[in-house]
Amino acid sequence: MNVSVFGLGYVGAVTAGCLAARGHRVTGVDVAASKVEELNHGRPPIIEPGLEERLGAALREGRLSATTDASHAVGETDLSLVCVGTPSTVSGGLDLSFVRQVTREIAEAVRRKSRPHALVLRSTMLPGSTRQLVAEFAADLQSSGALPVYYFPEFLREGTAVRDFEEPSLAAVGTHDGGAIPTALAPLFGQGTPTVSWETAELLKYACNAFHATKVAFANEIGRLGKALSVDAQAVMQLLCQDTRLNISPYYLRPGNPFGGSCLPKDVRALVHRARLTGASLPLVESLLPSNDRHLQSLMERIATSGHQEIVILGLSFKSQTDDLRESAMVEVAQHCLGRGHRLRIYDPQLNLAALVGSNKRVIDTRMPHLASLLHTDLRAALGTRGLVVAAQKVVPTDQLAPLLTAEHTLLDVNGWPELRTLGAPYDGFCW
Ligand SMILES: NC(=O)c1ccc[n+]([C@@H]2O[C@H](COP(=O)([O-])OP(=O)(O)OC[C@H]3O[C@@H](n4cnc5c(N)ncnc54)[C@H](O)[C@@H]3O)[C@@H](O)[C@H]2O)c1
């Protein structure tokens, strides 16, 4: 393909070098004449291992050139990749001015072209940015097919950028409606790359970077606490990473229920308490309980604004396959519903009130002494004929649930239970 790459910084220079090495004919574009000059001599405008060889070879083989003339570059190529900077504004927002300028230039140049051109935005941009840019500069071109627009986040890391580009750790491409990409572009995006909406691809990039930042901050906080307690935190974190079932895995990484139960809240609380006594400051770990509480509050707000007077809770324990009610978020939700005067029914086949003992029984005796009158053992009686069904746990097979739902039920899925979408009743995902 003939490809133009806008922005010849850390991302753009690597993109230009690696695409040229794959056999594409690449035209680099930058407003900085010095970077254009460097590229035209086969020299990388930035330091990046492996880049100089690729640029030099591409130049010698006639597959690389650079210019400051955007219109010329668009005219010469079939596709433009945009890798210009998106720095922070003074207030911490995102400065899209460089991407806006380039998108405008490309759209104007495409209007002068007689054949379609593809626009692939790679700069990191907040959800909604691509749609906003298209609306501003290229709505007609995108809808007529003259300028199909893709958002393709870049995940490379400086220092290993060439290898990351050639073997990306993650790839996903955003299209205007989440639909498939043309087969001709599959080699560029990578075979089998998932296609999502523009906004999903945009948020994916931020979710990845926020997650990486969370990992670093977490390891550092455990390190600081370990140092304060004379414990070897390097050994702790190395062992932590050996658990690929619960720790380094997709487990605990699904949006849904707040955390609860007999361990996580208690142990986070104790860790924060101990850290304070040692003088170690752990803002990330300290924020976990407030964050969880905020999540629970937002669930209660959703219930309060649902318009339903009758509430049905499916699953009262903090997770399925247990009758443990200690620090279960749903006990709090139930109390909240009662406090607001809702008619509440609860279904949880794991819960046998007569068998509850110890601290688990104390939860009920002190917080919900009237639970017995709300807990139904019969699913039909629990669901009734109307109400908001707060599906917190998968406590019943969907084929038993489906025939008992009416048009006056709404399913509020707190757990991420995809089959609920197919049951006919209105469906609402808690945080998706
Ligand atoms: N650096 C990374 O490791 C990395 C990784 C993934 C994603 N990203 C994202 O990729 C984007 C680019 O990052 P970078 O580090 O390469 O930035 P950079 O600042 O190194 O390079 C940006 C380049 O864009 C050029 N530019 C600005 N306006 C232009 C215009 N109108 N026309 C042509 N060129 C123009 C600048 O002169 C500069 O050379 C950012 O959104 C960044 O967040 C960066």
For the Cβ of 168 lying below 6 angstroms from any atom of ligand 1, the answer is no
Q: Please, what are the domains in the chain?
A: 2-200 (3.40.50.720), 296-429 (3.40.50.720)
Contact, 217 vs 284, CB < 8 A?
Answer: yes
For the Cβ of 12 lying below 6 angstroms from any atom of ligand 1, the answer is yes
**Whole-number pLDDT of residue 372:** 82
For the Cβ of 98 lying below 6 angstroms from any atom of ligand 1, the answer is yes
Q: Which atom of ligand 1 is nearest to the CA of 32?
A: 37
pLDDT along the chain (432 residues), means of 10: 97 98 97 97 95 97 98 98 97 97 98 96 98 98 97 97 96 98 95 97 98 98 97 98 98 95 94 96 98 97 96 92 86 94 95 79 81 92 98 95 96 96 95 95
For the Cβ of 29 lying below 6 angstroms from any atom of ligand 1, the answer is yes
Nearest CA to ligand 1 atom 19: 85
For the Cβ of 158 lying below 6 angstroms from any atom of ligand 1, the answer is yes
For the Cβ of 101 lying below 6 angstroms from any atom of ligand 1, the answer is yes
Contact, 149 vs 134, CB < 8 A?
Answer: yes
Give the mutation target among 36, 68, 84, 102 for probing the ligand 1 site: most ligand atoms within 8 A of CB.
84
Nearest alpha-carbon partner for 121 in 130, 131, 108: 130
**Whole-number pLDDT of residue 5:** 98
Q: Which atom of ligand 1 is nearest to the CA of 68?
A: 33
**Whole-number pLDDT of residue 71:** 98
For the Cβ of 86 lying below 6 angstroms from any atom of ligand 1, the answer is yes
Give the mutation target among 4, 6, 10 for probing the ligand 1 site: most ligand atoms within 8 A of CB.
10
51 Cα to the center of ligand 1, angstroms: 16
Q: Pairing relation of β-strands 25-29 and 118-121?
A: unpaired
Per the annotation, the verdict on 263 as an active-site residue is yes
CA angle (208 as vertex; 260, 416 as ends), nearest 5: 40
Nearest CA to ligand 1 atom 36: 7
Give the integer Cα–Cα distance in Å for 390 and 301. Answer: 13
| Strand intervals (E) in 294-382 | 310-314, 343-347, 375-376
Give the mutation target among 5, 8, 11 for probing the ligand 1 site: most ligand atoms within 8 A of CB.
11
pTM for this prediction = 0.94
For the Cβ of 165 lying below 6 angstroms from any atom of ligand 1, the answer is no
For the Cβ of 265 lying below 6 angstroms from any atom of ligand 1, the answer is no
209 Cα to the center of ligand 1, angstroms: 17
Nearest CA to ligand 1 atom 1: 10
8 Cα to the center of ligand 1, angstroms: 7
Class of residue 334 by CB neighbours under 10 A (exposed 0-12, middle 13-18, buried 19+):
buried
- Please tell me which residue in 18, 83, 208, 263 is annotated as part of the active site: 263
Nearest alpha-carbon partner for 329 in 356, 367, 366: 367
Half-sphere exposure of 114 (CA within 13 A, CB side): 0
229 Cα to the center of ligand 1, angstroms: 43
Rounded to the nearest angstrom, the gap between the alpha carbon of residue 82 and the centroid of all alpha carbons in its chain is 22
**Whole-number pLDDT of residue 357:** 78
97 Cα to the center of ligand 1, angstroms: 12
Q: Which atom of ligand 1 is nearest to the CA of 153?
A: 7
